[in-house]
Structure 1
Amino acid sequence: MNKLAAVAVSLVAVGALSTAGAWYTGTQLPGVLNNLIDEANKQGADALLGTGVSTKFELVSLETRLFSSTAHYRFSLDAPAKDGEPRHIEILLVDNIEHGPLPASRLMRLNLWPVMAASSYQLEPNELTQRWFDAAKGAAPLTGTGVLGYDGSTQGTMVLTPLDFAPSPTSTVKFSGMTLDIEASKNAKQVQVSGGMDSLLLNTTDDTPMQVDLRNLTVSSEQHLGSGDFYVGDSSIKLATAQIKVGDKPAVLIKDLAQVGSLQESGTSLNGQIGYDIGMVSYDGKDIGSLRTLWAIKNFDSAALQSLIKLYQDKLTPIQQAQALGEEAPELDFSADEETRMKADLEKLLAGKPQLALDNLTLTTVHGQASLRVVLDLDKPESFELAPDELARQTIAKLEAKLSVAKAVIGDGVRIQAALEGVTDAKAIEEQATMMTEMGSGMALGTGLLTLEGDTLQSSLHYADNKVTFNGQDMTVEEFVTLVMSKTGGMGGGLGDDPSAYDSQDGSQYDEGADQPE
């Protein structure tokens, strides 16, 4: 009996604590929800800065009971006016909230870790979203669950329901659904997002039929708030394949699309890179080529950059609001104080000797490769009141650029064009590719701005301390500008009246009777 009594006392104690905790949650919930909504609106405004689009998330109503609450939210979006009419949409959500510390849904899964609330939300139908409900056969097309911890952290999952419907008599949509897992610390100082979708198929049978087939999208992001309101960390968006078919033309298949970025903070400086990749593009079952790009920044003062963005944001917000309402937007002008602040921020930013770089741009075709790399180092000038040419000299500390193009890339370009135009005569295509390879490389060499090493066209530039090294030759900035102007001043780029008549090997002209490209 003593053991039974102890168990009974324990159950009563847990029940009393749960009831007290549920009551406490009910009293705190309105303030917590409003804080979360304010943070979401701030993040949304920052993300949409410069797009002309504004969003607002708001709590419409909250019905609170002892162990649960029901909240209704409204999400609205305003876009710049089109044809004189402002564009406005609204989406409604309903949220069933179980009060902590031990919500029933977590108890049923034997999860005894105390939390403030457990949420289960879904989209509500309105005039805009009713067709989505119809496409999901009556189910809510968007649902989600979440948990709010006593430390202010959140953890949840958002699910887009599979859809199979015809939005118009001439179009169909088939969507596999999408799931995103989201975790965030208090005030979203740390955020993790992961998830993806299997497929999205779009088909239209209008005047120009089109089919789009997207497969295997994955999203991953792990970031935290740095010292200057910048999220630093890693993120990626990847799509395995995208196939597009327009009319009766063969399909274009794009494989391994990716956007991968990383932003890090070292002291007060931001350093980061972002890459955009296309693994392979194929047309009518034949590979065309791949593309890789990598951009990078170094030594960007976080506080100065944040201040410049804030100034820009303050100036842009009234313009966006006017655009959304279809009103005349105010001019973007700066007061004397704002100009002083902007110059001070620029001086601080340049004092850190920031660097901008196109670290890698590489196009790889079936038979060759072309690449470009550009690195720009900046420095603080003595004054922003200097003459433009002197200001540029002092601001650009160093510039390096290198271009490399295999001659075979030119021929591959001809083959790609022939495929797009439906040309099937293999012999004629190869003859044209060979001729245009020699002609194109000859024209490039004729400008004097590129050199030939083996079968690769190259050009290099190095600038520092008011001195230029161009393709291995040292010269002053003035001499370099004069050289470029003299080589590009005419349409022929220094080749004479008919640049297409020169051979790339010895500069001699083709015979007049020789076959010329159409």
Structure 2
Amino acid sequence: MKKSLVAVGVIVALGVAWTGSAWYTGKQLEGRMAEMIARANAELNKASPEAGLTLGYQDYHRGLFHSTMQLVIKPNAGVTSALLKPDQSIVFNETIDHGPFPFAQLKKFNLLPSMASVHTTLVNNPTTKPLFDIAKGQSFIDAQTRIGYSGDTSSDISLLPLNYENGEQKVAFSGGEFRADVDGQGDKIAVSGEAQSGLVNTVNEYGQHVQMTFNGIKTEGNSARSEFIERIGSQKAAIEKLAIAIEGQQMAVFEGFNIHAKSELQEDKKHLSGQIDYTLDSLKVQNKDIGSGKLTLKVGNLDGAAVHAFSQKYQAESQKLLADPALMQDPEAYQQRIVELFVANLPLLLKGDPVITVAPLSWKNAQGESSFNLSLLLKDPAQAAGEATTPEEQLNRVVKSLDSKLVIPMAMATELMTQIAQLEGYQPAEAAKLADQQIKGLAAMGQMFRVTTMENNNVVSSLQYSNGQVTLNGQKMPLSDLLGMFGMPGIGQPEIAPAPELETPVVPVIPQQ
């Protein structure tokens, strides 16, 4: 009997403790809500200022074990957002289970104490109604977020499958699963997820039936806040297959497309470096195998303080552009002003004498692989003395050295042009003949103007530059001679050596339909 009373007493005590803890954590969460929203808006403004969006909350109702509220995304006052019009908004319903052991968390057998567990769904309003229509009246987004006492969050985000048909229009989507983890200070973020497949059928402006399908989209990445730029880290994205068809005829198929971008602090903790890799395993156009390609682009030795100054100025000026209603009504003028803004502040990025490397840019088919490699060492023009009055002096102010090389196998180029000629309607034999003539003619022109040479049946071009001296395909010359070869205004034309003799003189042939 005593044991039974003790057990009952323990259960009652635990129930009282649970109730008190749930009430306390619910109240604590309410007190921190404004801080969390402000932090989210700061992140949104830094990551995508051109979006012109702000996050808010409304209708907060706190209960003993559960609370409810709504998160609202809407355009900034006075800004016509590219995503939302002034009268539009996106609203999410938030159901909050209070800690220390939220019920939603217990259902997943997660016994770690936490402040709350939040269930998020999309609200059906005039802005989101089209999405609800193709999701058969359900919320397309369903997310469950665990909020720790330190403020860290872990979100499991589900995108529901879609299957919608309306006349000649069709949308199908397998759904997707994504995960996002953010630490309490918002300094570290990790995102990963995948979606298996999707299909869109529609009719274009010419009345043609267009179908786009994809398979195997994946993403994975992490980032951390930096004192110089907003974030550094690594991000990967991949798609197994993307196909486009018009009127039932396959137009293009991309397979094995991958992007990997990363940025980091260098050893001195004052400079930044970054790298982005693109790879495409296969491209087919109208069932013709066009080949595969890759690009690796690296940027190093960026002065961190200068990058930060560039970022601050660029964001401040771009915000002013977004606040101009007339400019927001003219997308072309807005894009022009953005480009001008970037160019005007570009000298800031040269402060650390950055290095740009392309190693390589290449394209490969059954007959070989063409490649282009580049190493460009830049320098801070602000360190130069006096005023630049000649092209040599102007280039010398920003370029320390350049080294580049282009290699194109004749067989590879001929195969590529043969495929292109067939796409234009030529029969295989005729296409091969025209491609052979065209590539030989272009190679001859390159030699005639000393832009390229022939090495082992490869078209080759190399260019080096340093201290006003140019070396083109092994021949040294002043920069003025190089500019003169391309007819630059005000530059004298150098004497051009005669073209090398060819076994069979040819001229370029441009295939015509």
Could you tell me the TM-score, scaled by structure 1's length? Answer: 0.85
Q: Is residue 53–residue 324 contact of structure 1 (8 Å, CA) maintained in 2?
A: no
Q: Distance in 2 between matches of 1:436 and 1:30?
A: 72
Q: Distance in 1 between matches of 2:29 and 2:385?
A: 53
Evaluate the alpha carbon distance shift between residue 191 and residue 467 of structure 1 in structure 2; reply closer, same or farther with a 3 A threshold. same
| 3-state SS of paired residue (2:151) | coil
How many residue pairs were aligned?
492
Q: Is residue 419–residue 431 contact of structure 2 (8 Å, CA) maintained in 1?
A: no
Q: Distance in 1 between matches of 2:296 and 2:509?
A: 41
Evaluate the alpha carbon distance shift between residue 421 and residue 184 of structure 1 in structure 2; reply closer, same or farther with a 3 A threshold. same
* 1:409-431 C-alpha deviation (Å, 9 max, x unpaired): 331232222332233x3222222
Evaluate the alpha carbon distance shift between residue 413 and residue 77 of structure 1 in structure 2; reply closer, same or farther with a 3 A threshold. farther
Residue 449 (structure 1) shift: 0.9
Tell me what 1:420 maps to. Answer: 423
| 3-state SS of paired residue (1:408) | helix
Residue 96 (structure 1) shift: 0.4
Tell me what 1:202 maps to. Answer: 200
| 3-state SS of paired residue (1:119) | strand
* 1:58-101 C-alpha deviation (Å, 9 max, x unpaired): 1022111121100111122578589xx96763211101001111
| 3-state SS of paired residue (2:228) | coil
Q: Is residue 400–residue 466 contact of structure 2 (8 Å, CA) maintained in 1?
A: yes
What residue identity is the alignment partner of 2:288? K
Structure 2 residue 395 is the aligned partner of structure 1 residue 392:
yes
Tell me what 1:177 maps to. Answer: 175
Tell me what 1:499 maps to. Answer: none
Structure 2 residue 404 is the aligned partner of structure 1 residue 406:
no
Q: Distance in 1 between matches of 2:75 and 2:501?
A: 61
Q: Distance in 2 between matches of 1:202 and 1:140?
A: 20
Q: Distance in 2 between matches of 1:134 and 1:342?
A: 46
- Structure 2 alignment gaps of length 5 or more: none
* 1:355-399 C-alpha deviation (Å, 9 max, x unpaired): 122232111123222211222212234347632643531331111
Tell me what 2:482 maps to. Answer: 480
Tell me what 1:132 maps to. Answer: 131
Residue 323 (structure 1) shift: 4.4
- Once structures 1 and 2 are overlaid, which stretch shifts more, 145-154 or 399-408? 399-408
Tell me what 2:34 maps to. Answer: 34
Evaluate the alpha carbon distance shift between residue 459 and residue 48 of structure 1 in structure 2; reply closer, same or farther with a 3 A threshold. same
- Structure 1 alignment gaps of length 5 or more: 497-501
- When the two chains are superposed, the root-mean-square deviation of aligned CA atoms in Å is 3.4
2:62 pairs, out of 64, 74, 80, with 64
Residues 62-211 of structure 1: pairs in structure 2 closer than 5 A = 62-77=60-75, 89-166=88-165, 169-205=167-203, 207-211=207-211
| 3-state SS of paired residue (1:180) | strand
Q: Distance in 1 between matches of 2:327 and 2:11?
A: 59
- Once structures 1 and 2 are overlaid, which stretch shifts more, 409-418 or 353-362? 409-418
* 1:129-168 C-alpha deviation (Å, 9 max, x unpaired): 23322322232211110000001100011111111113x5
Structure 2 residue 507 is the aligned partner of structure 1 residue 506:
no
Evaluate the alpha carbon distance shift between residue 510 and residue 24 of structure 1 in structure 2; reply closer, same or farther with a 3 A threshold. closer
Residues 69-468 of structure 1: pairs in structure 2 closer than 5 A = 69-77=67-75, 89-166=88-165, 169-205=167-203, 207-247=207-247, 249-266=249-266, 267-323=269-325, 326=328, 346=348, 350-381=350-381, 382-383=383-384, 386-387=387-388, 389=390, 390-423=393-426, 425-468=427-470
Evaluate the alpha carbon distance shift between residue 409 and residue 240 of structure 1 in structure 2; reply closer, same or farther with a 3 A threshold. same
Q: Distance in 2 between matches of 1:505 and 1:58?
A: 74
What residue identity is the alignment partner of 1:506? L
Residue 237 (structure 1) shift: 0.8
Q: Distance in 2 between matches of 1:326 and 1:350?
A: 31
